[in-house]
Amino acid sequence: MKKLWRWVGRILKWSGIVVLALALLVGCLVGLAFAINAHDEAPTPETKALLVTPPNPFAPEDNIYYAFAGFDAPPGEPMIAVGQARIEAHNKHPASPEAPDPHRLIFKGSTDFCQLMSGSLWQEVPLHRAEVAKLLSDNWELYQRYLALHHLHGYYETASPNYTVSQPVSVRRLYLADVVLHLQSGDAHAQHAALADLNEDVLLWRSVLTGQGGLLSKMLAVANLHSDSLVAGDMIADAGSEVPLDEAYADLIAPIFKPRDWDIGNAFAQEFRTQASLIRQIYAESAGGWGAAEHPDGSAQPRWSRIENEIVARFFKLQATENLFALTTTRLITAAAMDPANFHKRISVRQALWREGFLYNPIGKALARVALPDVGNYSPRAWDGAALQRLVRAGYEIRSAHIDPAQIPAFLAQHPEWSTHPADGRPFLWDPATHELRVQTVAVQSSSPRRFGIPIWQGANAH
């Protein structure tokens, strides 16, 4: 029995030593972590630069953003003035959600037959001619407001974070349906006016694409330019359509933007400023101070809560977190440029999040990982939009030059400026069996497929 107790004593002794050693080790690690997190970083040059908001060069009456914000203004009221008032009211009280205006103008009917991204308006809309006429009659004021958008020249988002402006999706579908019917009307004057309308729509969404906005506005512009391109591509391929075949009309019917127009890097900068604003707001509200005896509203905090908040505050560094966001944002901006050499760099933006070691600012790093949006597909989607413009231009040039189908591969090889993807240089795919030319996309396609192929003109006697 004495021998047994000696073994028990030894086990207890060594167990105590191990526990004490572990406790000392944990204490040392905690002390080390507190020491490492005793200071915050100074803002980096990248952070300082990104926090600067570019100046707004547009007068309110020329800002498409205000028009979007007030697009559903009550009947008879000016949409820009209403939109500006709504945004200014939000900026004064950003925490108070604005109730929908009960007198707002609401679109009547459905435009679901217009499949802008996956179908062919050129083929589908003529089957719904009567529906289009009724929709125009029922939504005439909204339709006129959409036409008025074409006379505005700038896009600059002025709302504070967390304000979403609804877009005139149904009205735009109706607009494109009406354009298609006029292009197929057989009336030369109506066709010429419709071509000008389609070009004005392209310029409208180019202004949104190149303006000062977030990712939502950029992706909306890319999608709308996509549908405009498909309408033009189908029109060009239709041997029965009257398409002006002259070099002077090429940029009107099948324009190609400059590469910098498709660079959505400034959207990532805007997203950074939004994130920084929210982080600062959370930091200020959580703790007018973490560790304070009272909540920001004046109510008392439990003692355990104050201790917990004090610990959290030690391991969250505001400026270091902003620097981390700025680092990833800078990489996203670099990857957004349409440079084939940088194309594959977009997948590595998360790698920098833990480079400085996990003990420093762990809460800030965790926040950066959670808050970093799934942005890997945004820039490639814009590049695919640029490729689609090239595709449509190729279709126009083939028809303009009356290229025989058998000579199309050689023609495409001679003109890479119209037949290759601007992001990675891959050639478009020509299918002689279906007479279709298709983009090899760089973006991961969503469950809602987008059409990246167009038929190619085969001559007036084609069937």
Q: 291 pLDDT exceeds 80?
A: no
Q: 269 pLDDT exceeds 70?
A: yes
CB 64 within 8 A of CB 158: no
Q: Take residue 219 and report the two structure tokens written for it.
A: 């992706």
CB 399 within 8 A of CB 240: no
Could you tell me if 206 and 144 lie in one domain?
A: yes
Distance CA 86, CA 84 (A): 5
Could you tell me if 115 and 77 lie in one domain?
A: yes
Q: 262 pLDDT exceeds 60?
A: yes
State how far the alpha carbon of 382 is from the alpha carbons of 24, 210, 423, in Å.
55, 11, 10
pLDDT bin (cut points 50, 70, 90) of residue 444 is: confident
pLDDT bin (cut points 50, 70, 90) of residue 284 is: confident
Could you tell me if 180 and 70 lie in one domain?
A: yes
Could you tell me if 135 and 243 lie in one domain?
A: yes
Q: Which residues contact 269 (CB under 8 A, 6 or more apart)?
A: 50, 329, 333
Is 316 part of a structural domain of the chain? no
Could you tell me if 129 and 87 lie in one domain?
A: yes
pLDDT bin (cut points 50, 70, 90) of residue 354 is: very low
Q: Which of 45-49, 301-305, 316-320 has the highest mean pLDDT?
A: 45-49
Is 337 part of a structural domain of the chain? no
Distance CA 243, CA 237 (A): 10
Q: Which residues contact 304 (CB under 8 A, 6 or more apart)?
A: none
Q: How many domains is the chain built from?
A: 2
Among residues 109, 214, 243, 116, the alpha carbon closest in space to that of 172 is found at 116
In 76-187, alpha helices (H): 79-92, 121-124, 129-138, 140-149, 169-183
Mean pLDDT along residues 164-171: 87
Residue range(s) defining the domain that contains residue 17: 2-36
Is 129 part of a structural domain of the chain? yes
Q: 349 pLDDT exceeds 50?
A: no
How confident is the model over 377-415, as pLDDT tens digits?
888 999 999 999 999 999 999 999 999 999 999 999 999
Could you tell me if 28 and 154 lie in one domain?
A: no
Q: Give the three-class secondary structure for 316.
A: coil
Q: 438 pLDDT exceeds 70?
A: yes
Could you tell me if 136 and 208 lie in one domain?
A: yes
Could you tell me if 32 and 65 lie in one domain?
A: no
Could you tell me if 91 and 6 lie in one domain?
A: no
Is 325 part of a structural domain of the chain? no
Write down the pTM of the prediction.
Answer: 0.86
Mean pLDDT along residues 183-198: 94
Could you tell me if 112 and 24 lie in one domain?
A: no
Residue in this structure with the two tokens 């086990």, named with its chain if needed: 11
Q: 23 pLDDT exceeds 70?
A: no
Could you tell me if 72 and 27 lie in one domain?
A: no
Least trusted range by pLDDT, from 32-46, 252-266, 385-399: 32-46
Is 397 part of a structural domain of the chain? yes
Could you tell me if 173 and 25 lie in one domain?
A: no
405-409: Cβ within 8 A, 24+ apart: 405/432, 405/435, 405/456, 405/458, 408/432, 408/437, 408/456
